Copies of this chain bind each other. A is one copy, B any other.
Amino acid sequence: MQLQLATWQEVEGYLKSSTAIMIPIGSTEQHGPNGFIGTDALCPEVLAKAVGEETGALVAPTLSIGMAQHHLGFSGSITLRPTTLIAVVQDVVNSLAQHGFDRFYFLNGHGGNIATLSAAFSEIYAESSLGKADSNRPPLVCQLRNWWDGGGIKRLSAELFGDKEGSHATCSEISLTYYAYPDHVKQAEMTPGKAPVGPIYDSSDYRRRFPDGRIGSDPTHASVEAGERIFKTAVEEIAGDWRRFAANGASDA
C-alpha cells in the first residue's frame, strides 16, 4: 500500500496488523553521461512500490534528495547538508511514531546517504537514551537497507557486467532505471570506456578526478533487458528481507 494513495483510515487499519513501514530514500545527483539525475531515488522508489504490492508493506513517499555534496560540480545535482538530512529523518520518524509505527525500513538507493542515515538513527535513539523522547514513543528500530545489498543482486550484477559495473553510475542502477523508464534511455559516448576510481572529498576535487561523473563504471553496457532481471531479483530479495523485518526479525542488511 502506498501511503500517498491511502486514506488515514486505511493507515489506521494497517496499523492493526503491522507497525512497520518502508521509506524509500535516494538522492538527486549526476549519474554520468547516460544516467538519470534521479537514479538513486528512482531505484528504491520502483522497487519499494513493487515490494509493497507483493508483501502488503506500507510504503512512504520517497525522500528524493539526499547527501550529495560531492556531486555539486555537475549541473542539476542537489544536496542536503548532513545536519539537514538528520533533521528530516528525525521529523519523519517522530511523526510516524506518533501513530504507533516503531519499525522503520529505509530502502536506500545512494551510498553517500549511508553515513548520514546511520548518524540520524543515532540522533533519534539518543532522544530515548538521553530521556528527551516523547514519553509515549515506543522503542524504535530504524533499519537501513541498500537495494543492492542482497547476494542475488551481487551475483547477477557480476554475471551481467563483470568489471564494468563500477561504483557510481553503475551498469546495474542505470539498467534498472532504463527498465522503469524505457522511453528515456540515453545514448552517450564515454571516454575512457571505464571510468577512474578513487576516494571522495569535496565537489571540485570530485569533478577534477572524475570528469564525466562516473566512478569505475562503463554504463554503455546498461540495458532495459538487464534492468528487468535486476528488478525481479531485487524485488524478490527485498520482499523476503522486509517480511523478516516486519515480523520483528532482523534484516540481513
Contacts and interface: CB of A to CB of B under 8 A. Distances in A.
A120 B131 CA distance: 19
A7 B69 contact: no
B61 A28 contact: yes
Given A7-B30, A37-B3, A82-B86, A64 B62 contact: yes
Interface string A174-213: 0000000100101010000000001101111100000001
B36 A5 contact: yes
Contacts of A10: 76
Contact of A74 (B8, B32, B202): B8
Given A31-B7, A131-B136, A83 B83 contact: yes
A150 to B, nearest CB: 17
Contact of A135 (B62, B90, B135): B135
A64 B95 CA distance: 14
A115 B125 contact: no
B119 A79 contact: no
Given A7-B30, A28-B4, A139-B205, A95 B72 contact: yes
Contacts of A114: 115
B87 A84 contact: yes
Number of copies: 6
A88 B86 contact: no
Given A62-B64, A86-B82, A128 B202 contact: yes
Contacts of A35: 7
B6 A76 contact: yes
A244 interface: no
B37 A126 contact: no
A118 interface: yes
Nearest to A15: B75
Nearest to A183: B5
A41 interface: yes
A220 to B, nearest CB: 13
A158 interface: no
A119 B132 CA distance: 21
5 contacts: A7-B32, A8-B32, A94-B130, A94-B131, A128-B204
Question: Which 5 pairs, one residue from A and one from B, show the smallest C-beta to C-beta distance?
Answer: A131-B134, A4-B38, A11-B76, A115-B118, A8-B30
